[in-house]
């Protein structure tokens, strides 16, 4: 349940964030370039990626959502704060209505996603492979065994000590990044800084700090509360506007 608000009562100066403007834009550009390099390299290794899936698949499950890894989307906040986005449910069988789109998940013995196949009503298949490198996971998409950049964005997920540290959604034109900080005194409290970056946004300038009109990026700050099962029960959602942290809405689990 979302409770919409727009209040300057709970505001906070984020001068440190806006002072590192040049560094953060440069970092975003480097991430977008690196992701494209990884995709191009992986694009030549379809058979190798497929063999890895066949070798490591422990179980196959089904679903109805494929956007941003579907059921396996690691984000704490996306399905709570983005209208229209759903992770969907994990099913044992193919959905009964085969005339509709559905998803096949290949999963390893640790319950981690290896490959996702999104099948539309015409039978077209888009495969998303997960490439793991140390604590980082990249997603790469193929259509008809060929790399595709036209069937949704790719992702980068970074873990630290088994916890989600960063989740990036990247395409040719923009990037969405979620950075997580865990409260050392309360394991049910998490802060998420969410950046939305459009490097070539018309009328923008990379000398303009985030939170100021004309910046190519937006910053949202979310204070997340979990229950004992590590499920999200509350999100206070803020946006950085004119150097101030402004409360815009609150999510509460029903």
State the pTM of this model: 0.88
The full set of domain ranges for the chain reads 2-252
CB neighbours of 71 closer than 8 A, spacing ≥ 6?
A: 63, 65, 87, 88, 89, 90, 103, 105
Helix (H) or strand (E) holding 26: helix 21-42
Kind plus residue range of the DSSP H or E element containing 50: helix 46-56
In tens, the pLDDT along 34-47 reads 988 888 888 889 99
Nearest alpha carbon to residue 176 among 42, 35, 21? 35
Report the pLDDT averaged over residues 243-251: 92
pLDDT tens digits for 182-238? 999 999 999 999 999 999 999 999 999 998 999 999 999 999 999 999 999 999 999
Structure tokens at 85: 């986005």
Q: What is the mean pLDDT of the chain?
A: 88
Sorted by sequence, the CB contacts under 8 Å of residue 246 that are 6+ apart come out as 6, 7, 8, 10, 11, 238, 239, 240
CA-CA-CA-CA torsion sign (249, 65, 54, 147)? negative
Q: Of residues 236 and 150, which shows the higher confidence score?
A: 236
| Residue range 130-143, pLDDT digits in tens | 999 999 999 999 99
Residue at token pair 């409260």: 183
């Amino acid at each position: 349940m979302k409770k919409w608000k727009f209040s300057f009562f709970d505001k906070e100066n984020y001068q440190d964030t806006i002072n590192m403007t040049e560094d953060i834009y440069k970092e975003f550009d480097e991430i977008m370039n690196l992701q494209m390099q990884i995709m191009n390299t992986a694009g030549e290794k379809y058979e190798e990626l497929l063999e890895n899936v066949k070798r490591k698949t422990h179980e196959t499950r089904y679903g109805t959502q494929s956007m941003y890894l579907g059921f396996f989307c690691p984000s704490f906040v996306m399905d709570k704060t983005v209208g229209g986005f759903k992770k969907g449910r994990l099913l044992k069988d193919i959905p009964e209505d085969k005339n509709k789109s559905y998803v096949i998940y290949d999963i390893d013995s640790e319950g981690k996603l290896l490959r996702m196949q999104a099948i539309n009503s015409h039978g077209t298949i888009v495969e998303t492979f997960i490439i793991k490198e140390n604590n980082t996971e990249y997603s790469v998409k193929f259509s008809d065994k060929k790399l595709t950049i036209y069937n949704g964005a790719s992702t980068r997920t970074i873990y630290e000590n088994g916890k989600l540290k960063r989740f990036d959604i990247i395409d040719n034109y923009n990037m969405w990044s979620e950075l997580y900080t865990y409260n050392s005194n309360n394991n049910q409290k998490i802060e998420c800084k969410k950046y939305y970056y459009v490097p070539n946004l018309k009328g923008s300038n990379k000398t303009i700090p985030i939170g100021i009109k004309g910046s190519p990026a937006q910053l949202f700050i979310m204070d997340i509360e979990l229950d004992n099962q590590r499920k999200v029960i509350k999100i206070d959602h803020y946006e950085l506007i004119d150097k101030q942290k402004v409360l815009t809405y609150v999510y509460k689990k029903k």
